[in-house]
Structure 1
């Protein structure tokens, strides 16, 4: 069955408002599938994408979870029935896929909610690296989580007169996007991680009260910023934006320290930093946490094997550079 309802989920990436905010970036439409039975309740928010290969008049689709980490999640279950509930969900979702011409499914599971453990036998699972977080439940995150070099960076920013500014409404999104694009171009960030100013501005409408920007300013000039997300126990360092001309002022370190302070003041238990595409980014993020990183797990499933093979064969006949290790292969 497919139902859209007011449902309490543990993290922002599971929420329909998140799916709506980022569906354009994922080139599809947000959908919610829920299953409730005598054993419990499974909630699944995903992006439905049209496959750019048609046979006759039928349009086929595949699914991917929204940008971020989420996937199907068991919201409640009677004791001892989690595996049975997950299997029942899989059967119901298979029926949904059959009825809606869905060929394949790709899931980015949540590393901190750890919903993959309930569904690992139902998907082909891959380890896609690690994601880092700061434990905000310690007595003093600054002394217990930050490494000495990071603490020095924060103190240096304060000594240099760097100041903090908040934006809860997105009114300054043009300035944030300017800094963000400077950083994106300098670091040659892949297209999938580059967001338009329009999308970021619209996200403040969808996610009102669930995100904010923290800036570092030097003599009135914005030198660094970060877009933070929050929901339930979790705070996320979602996007960073920095002007490399002011790198020595350590504004980005001061911004993350301020994010931690906000999280503690608002009862958050973890500040998630994400992964790292470069060694320098990894070293920067690891400087803020002594907590062990978490594995990023993804799941893939072919929902219509016959058509999956047909679409893949067609793609192979039309292109010589198909990456068969990519999933789904007909998009490789």
Structure 2
């Protein structure tokens, strides 16, 4: 059985998030030979344009950060293994009418390094993480202000509750909805129903929990925490704005770090900020590590069909965003 280094590479993760793509279907392509093992899971989506008798598709990696990864390799054979895999995947794309490929590479495992020669890249900003291998993350990683916030939350009577079964999914979703309204989140891709979150506890059993903050018996803040291998992820966060003054989010991050250290994890990933300067400053207060670049890989696997689809879109409704990839979805 493959030894996957992070939760985003698990097949059950890919299967869970295939439903986030319209008519998406999880596929896996692997290469195993005497040199090593390459694993790649992706979601195939039908292209919503009819320009002839053939139905074409494109691919995208599941929510999160993954992409093709070399799971094992004979020393010095990485480049050769990557070339062989790219050839195999090109053949797969040709056989299955796949036109383009979009990859959200994993910035902390740096799997891009083995495959960057095959893709054009786009920088989608940065992501931040807390180093849990230091002697004392609270003293060495947290800023004085963040430490003060954690102490303030505790002194104010904010309490922590861990939910490993999803028993209080309804409360999490209530808080998440409040957060979405406050931040004007309208993109369906970043909205999650109670059923969706509840199902995740079945498919990802033993790999996640909800970390709640409570005040006077009320749930006021929460984070869905993921964990696998050496990594913990501050995945989805939800808050009641009325209680921001209690700094419950800071306490949740501290408790997530504490849990990670107790379970031998090496990093707690705080995620990106999508250009939100306030969110960047908040997360930055908890870490002194350098941020990681979020690099996306773009590749046209069938140039002729790609151009045909772009021309078809231009003459049938037009392209709204000329910077979008693939352009026929712009």
TM-score by length of 2: 0.97
Partner of 2:129: 133
Q: Secondary structure of the equivalent of 2:20?
A: coil
Q: Secondary structure of the equivalent of 2:118?
A: coil
| Counterpart selection for 1:208 from 199, 205, 208 | 205
Kindly indicate whether the alpha-carbon contact (under 8 Å) linking 2:51 and 2:309 is maintained by their aligned counterparts in 1.
Answer: no
Partner of 1:3: none
Kindly indicate whether the alpha-carbon contact (under 8 Å) linking 1:133 and 1:270 is maintained by their aligned counterparts in 2.
Answer: yes
Q: Does 1:22 align with 2:17?
A: yes
Kindly indicate whether the alpha-carbon contact (under 8 Å) linking 1:164 and 1:215 is maintained by their aligned counterparts in 2.
Answer: yes
CA distance in 2, matches of 1:298, 1:231: 23
| Counterpart selection for 1:112 from 108, 125, 128 | 108
CA deviation after TM superposition for structure 1 residue 20, in Å: 1.1
Deviations 1:2-55 (A, max 9, x none): xxxx42110000111101111111331111110112221100011111111124
Kindly indicate whether the alpha-carbon contact (under 8 Å) linking 1:127 and 1:298 is maintained by their aligned counterparts in 2.
Answer: yes
Q: Secondary structure of the equivalent of 1:24?
A: helix
| Counterpart selection for 1:317 from 305, 311, 315 | 315
| Counterpart selection for 1:78 from 74, 80, 87 | 74
Deviations 1:162-217 (A, max 9, x none): 10001111111111011001001101225132222221111111100000000000
Segments ≥4 residues shifted beyond 4 Å: none
| Counterpart selection for 2:219 from 212, 216, 222 | 222
Gaps in structure 1 of 5+ consecutive residues: 1-5
Q: Does 1:143 align with 2:143?
A: no
Kindly indicate whether the alpha-carbon contact (under 8 Å) linking 2:319 and 2:328 is maintained by their aligned counterparts in 1.
Answer: no
CA deviation after TM superposition for structure 1 residue 161, in Å: 0.6
Kindly indicate whether the alpha-carbon contact (under 8 Å) linking 1:315 and 1:322 is maintained by their aligned counterparts in 2.
Answer: no
Partner of 1:178: 174
Partner of 2:305: 307
Kindly indicate whether the alpha-carbon contact (under 8 Å) linking 1:22 and 1:199 is maintained by their aligned counterparts in 2.
Answer: no
Kindly indicate whether the alpha-carbon contact (under 8 Å) linking 2:12 and 2:203 is maintained by their aligned counterparts in 1.
Answer: yes
Kindly indicate whether the alpha-carbon contact (under 8 Å) linking 1:64 and 1:107 is maintained by their aligned counterparts in 2.
Answer: yes
CA distance in 1, matches of 2:328, 2:237: 33
TM-score by length of 1: 0.96
CA RMSD of aligned residues (A): 1.0
Q: Secondary structure of the equivalent of 2:238?
A: strand
Kindly indicate whether the alpha-carbon contact (under 8 Å) linking 1:130 and 1:275 is maintained by their aligned counterparts in 2.
Answer: yes
CA distance in 2, matches of 1:215, 1:80: 46
CA deviation after TM superposition for structure 1 residue 78, in Å: 1.2
Kindly indicate whether the alpha-carbon contact (under 8 Å) linking 2:121 and 2:297 is maintained by their aligned counterparts in 1.
Answer: yes
Q: Secondary structure of the equivalent of 1:222?
A: strand
Show the 5 A alignment for 1:1-332: 6-27=1-22, 28-191=24-187, 192-277=189-274, 278-332=276-330
CA distance in 1, matches of 2:36, 2:186: 40
Gaps in structure 2 of 5+ consecutive residues: none
